[in-house]
Structure 1
Amino acid sequence: MRGISIRAAVTGQAPQIISILEQCGLDASALNLFATTFHIAVTESLIVGCAGVERHGDTAIIGPVAVLADYRDRGIASSLVQAALMRARAGGCRQAVMLAMRFATYFSRHGFTLMPRRALPAEVQASQAYQWQANPSDVCMKYDLISG
């Protein structure tokens, strides 16, 4: 990750974050930018990746996570996920969840495990991120921030 820094995004960077998500094939139209806090990966003045954290009670929804194609396979996404988990833990969350199961293999490498969606807290089930899932699986992934 030489020459790349991870830091918290600021409000004025929302258009760049949306652009990265779209370039990575992720739909940013349903993203709640007011509820999601982002970490970004920056090289010089270019944002090359992002990871969101959306807090609901003592649970944090992690995602979306995206890195521009030219910057993949450098550990950037892993650093962004770790920064998102640290933010959630520092904010008092007890667990983090990932709702998009198409990234299950990736997140399992970071210690996330399967859990039934019906076991998610009511605050998460009421969230825009949860409601937006077009074809939700019966499962999602969780990470224990207390012991993890």
Structure 2
Amino acid sequence: MRSISIRTAMTGEWERIGDILHRTGLMATDVDPFETMFHVAESESMLVGCAGAERLGNTAIVGPVAVLPEFRDRGIASHLIRTTLMRARASGCRQAVYFSHHCAVFFSRHGFLLMPRDELSPEVRASKTFQREHGFWSLCMRCDLT
């Protein structure tokens, strides 16, 4: 098995991250690379996965999370999520939220619990991510980082 390392994405890697999102069926055009901090999984100089988070006050909005199909089932997404949550906690976030219409079981393994959308802070409800996804996703999940 190839060695996989997890690190903060560097300036200039957005095209490579966008390619991962595209190849996994996610929309790179829905992500603002200037507002989203990405971590990447790398194998032999090749990016094989990514996880992003946007910080709004004391909340991190997690997503997107993607791993190339040929590298799945190796725990890479879990490592990316743990790293993303650790970084959010270290930067002062008290909670993380995730919006989706799938992956509830995966995120619940990382401490995320279902929550009503109306319990989100006004700041999160006013975010571009919430506005863009409102009505599309059916799940809202929260993870306490304290």
TM range, smaller chain:
over 0.9
Provide the rounded CA distance (Å) in 1 between the counterparts of 2:101 and 2:108.
Answer: 11
- Separation in 1, partners of 2:115, 2:127: 18
Question: Any conservation in 1 of the 2:101–2:136 contact (CA below 8 Å)?
Answer: no
Residue pair 2:112, 2:143 contacting (<8 A) in 1 also:
yes
Aligned length: 145
- Report the TM-score, using the length of structure 2 for normalisation: 0.95
TM-score, with length taken from structure 1: 0.94
Separation (CA, whole Å) in 1 of partners of 2:32 and 2:20: 16
Question: Which residues of structure 1 form unaligned runs of 5+?
Answer: none
What is the DSSP-based 3-state SS (H/G/I as helix, E as strand, rest coil) of the residue aligned with 1:11? coil
Read off the aligned partner of 1:94 and give its amino acid letter: R
Aligned pairs (5 A) from 1:1-148: 3-133=3-133, 134-137=135-138, 139-146=139-146
Q: CA deviation at 1:2?
A: 5.0
Q: Work out the CA distance in 1 between the residues paired with 2:143 and 2:14.
A: 27
Q: Supply the RMSD in Å over aligned alpha carbons.
A: 1.2
Give the fraction of aligned pairs with identical amino acids, expressed as a percent.
56
Cα deviations by residue, 1:92-148 (Å, 9 ceiling, x for unpaired): 0000000113121210111110111111111111111111115232x40000000xx
SS of the counterpart of 2:38?
Answer: strand
2:28 alignment partner, SS class: coil
| Equivalent residues of 1:97, 1:143 under 8 A apart | yes
Distance (whole Å) between structure 2 residues aligned to residue 2 and residue 136 of structure 1: 35
Distance in 1, Cα, partners of 2:137 & 2:19: 25
Distance 1:62 1:101 in 2: 14
Residue identity in the other structure for 1:121: S
Gaps in structure 2 of 5+ consecutive residues: none
**2-structure distance, mates of 1:16, 1:136:** 26
Question: Post-superposition shift, 1:25?
Answer: 0.4
**Pairwise CA distance, 1:27:** 1.1
Runs of 4+ in 1 over 6 A off after TM superposition: none
Q: Distance in 1 between matches of 2:115 and 2:132?
A: 19
Rounded Cα–Cα distance in structure 2 between residues aligned with 1:14 and 1:48: 13
Paired with 2:116 and 2:39, the residues of 1 have a C-alpha distance of 27
State the alpha-carbon separation in 1 of the partners of residues 5 and 96 from structure 2: 23
